[in-house]
Amino acid sequence: MTSAAFNNNLEKIESLLFGFAMKLTHNKENAKDLMQETLMRSYKHRERFVEGTNFKAWMTTIMYNSFVNNYRKKKTRNKVVRPIEDYSYMIENKSVEGNGESAIVMKELTKMVGNLSENYKVPFELMIQGYHYDEIAEKINLPMGTVKSRIFYARKKLQGMVNNRYGGIENLRAA
């Protein structure tokens, strides 16, 4: 599809698309963002549009998929793995510097992470440093699924080491 044909078809349904974006987002600014993302994606891939098919359906499908992808992305980024109450033990003793037991436990945990094989240690350490899965995958040149899998297994291995050393996470918290 040429740029001119794309623009002609778009002019006919632009107000309908914005109405659909409003229906999905319930917010004018978010609808504008969704509209812009949809237009960018559809223009970029306009050669994939099959002439003689329904342009409106093609555009609304792109918009809906963009909306769902953004929704899922926001949902997983803001996801809390554990409630804050689970970490209350960390703030009970405000003085970490003067707590020798905590320093020893941290050294032991650091050593346990160091004992992981490079395949597990590198992605796990990057995750601890705050990198997202996609950033880790790009940084170490691996597929994101592989990165997620390695971090999962690193956690499992560390959990096993903590269970062997302390008899469980509860005993570690008491240390």
- Contact yes or no for 105/169 (Cβ under 8 A): no
pLDDT, position 79? 59
Say if residue 103 is in the same domain as residue 73: no
Tokens of 162: 């903590």
pLDDT-based confidence at 170, cuts 50/70/90? low
Tell me which residue range forms the domain holding 161: 91-174
Question: Does 12 reside within a domain?
Answer: yes
DSSP 8-state assignment for residue 146: H
Between 8 and 76, whose confidence is greater? 8
Q: Count of CB atoms within 10 A of residue 43's CB?
A: 13
Mean per-residue pLDDT, 6-13:
90
Question: Does 83 reside within a domain?
Answer: no
pLDDT, position 166? 73
CA distance 9 to 31: 20
- pTM beyond 0.85: no
Question: Does 85 reside within a domain?
Answer: no
Q: What angle do CA 122, 124, 126 make, to 5 degrees?
A: 70
Q: What are phi and psi of 55, to 5 degrees?
A: -65, -40
- Contact yes or no for 117/155 (Cβ under 8 A): no
Question: Does 84 reside within a domain?
Answer: no
Domain boundary among 21, 42, 77: 77
pLDDT-based confidence at 41, cuts 50/70/90? very high
Number of domains in the chain: 2
Average pLDDT, the chain: 82
Question: Does 37 reside within a domain?
Answer: yes
CA distance 172 to 91: 15
Domain boundary among 77, 101, 131: 77
